[in-house]
Amino acid sequence: MNILITAGPTREPIDPVRYLSNRSSGKMGYALAQAALNHNHHVTLISGPVSLPAPSGAHLIPVETALQMFDAVRTTISHCDIAIFAAAVADYRPVTSSSQKLKKHPSSLSLHLEPTEDILGSARSLFNFSGYLVGFAAETENLIAHAQSKLTRKKCDLIIANDVSQPGIGFDSTENAVTLCFPNGEIHPLPKQSKQTLAAVLFDTILARATPLPPTPHA
Ligand code: CTP
């Protein structure tokens, strides 16, 4: 099957040397890509800047900003059977990015931010994606309620909910513990384990529920 995975953070430039970003390491997305490759699937990995080697055999599309990730997903998602959105996309970007390095002044500085594209939220509505759609929900409170709300709003088949307030799991950690939320209300917690082991379990779960897209008829 063709699998699309987004991974890592995005960087939203403020000026040529500064940006807004987050603590995502990309480890969960890259581990999922490796799990899919281990099953001999074709993997397109759209990744923000990370310090991880590209999994051998993946088609890596490196991006920096949320807009670049949005464009890369838009042009690749239509031929995919499964799309897994593991990237920690910045929700806001500076409205303007200075072409010169901003100089320090004694007064305070305000950044005017605008929302970035909701890439996962666009999968069904803008990209007409009809395959198996998986999102992550990184939350610090009301984990299940927020995850279920994302599941419905973004028309996902599965949300992998992550309590990022707990030390030692999630962002920038080697381990993770997640709760799977399905549209039928099913909730399935998975205990703390290495991201590699967890990725194998997650990928098996996704594969068991996803069905390949019918072949596109030739013109
Ligand atoms: N996501 C995305 N594009 C964005 C923001 C998020 O594709 N601009 C995806 C993430 O990859 C993840 C899911 O949406 O799979 C949820 O991300 P999260 O940051 O938890 O949720 P948000 O939609 O940003 O909502 P909120 O910040 O209100 O929790």
Q: Is the CB of 87 under 6 A from ligand 1?
A: yes
pTM: 0.94
Q: Over its length of 219 residues, how does the chain's per-residue pLDDT go in tens digits?
A: 999 999 999 999 999 999 999 999 999 999 999 999 999 999 999 999 999 999 999 999 999 999 999 999 999 999 999 999 999 999 999 999 999 999 988 899 999 999 999 999 999 999 999 999 999 998 989 999 999 999 999 999 999 999 888 877 767 778 889 999 999 999 999 999 998 999 999 999 999 999 877 777 665
Residue 169: predicted pLDDT: 73
Residue 218: predicted pLDDT: 65
Atom 20 (ligand 1) nearest CA: 137
Residue at 34: amino acid letter: Q
What distance in Å separates the CA atoms of residue 25 and residue 79, rounded to the nearest whole number? 27
Q: Is the CB of 4 under 6 A from ligand 1?
A: no
Compute, in angstroms, the gap from residue 118 CA to the centroid of ligand 1: 7
CB count, 10 Å around CB of 130?
12
Compute, in angstroms, the gap from residue 218 CA to the centroid of ligand 1: 36
Residue at 137: amino acid letter: A
Give all domains of the chain, ordered by start, each with its CATH number.
Answer: 2-91+115-210 (3.40.50.10300)
Q: Which of 12, 47, 67, 91 to mutate to test the pocket of ligand 1 (most atoms within 8 A of CB)?
A: 91
Compute, in angstroms, the gap from residue 31 CA to the centroid of ligand 1: 19
SS (H, E, C) 161-193: EEECCCCCCCCCCCEEEEEEECCCCCEEEEEEE
Q: Is the CB of 89 under 6 A from ligand 1?
A: yes
Q: Is the CB of 175 under 6 A from ligand 1?
A: no
Give whole-number Cα distances, 168 to 136, 153, 163, 180, 181, in Å: 18, 29, 11, 19, 22
User: Counting atoms of ligand 1 from 1, which one is nearest the CA of 115?
Assistant: 8
- 100-107's contacts with Cβ under 8 Å and 24+ in sequence apart are 100/15, 100/16, 101/15, 101/16, 101/17, 101/18, 102/14, 102/15, 102/18
User: Counting atoms of ligand 1 from 1, which one is nearest the CA of 134?
Assistant: 15
Q: Is the CB of 90 under 6 A from ligand 1?
A: no
What distance in Å separates the CA atoms of residue 73 and residue 123, rounded to the nearest whole number? 9
Helix (H, G, I), strand (E, B) or coil at 70: helix
Residue 43: predicted pLDDT: 98
Residue 170: predicted pLDDT: 66
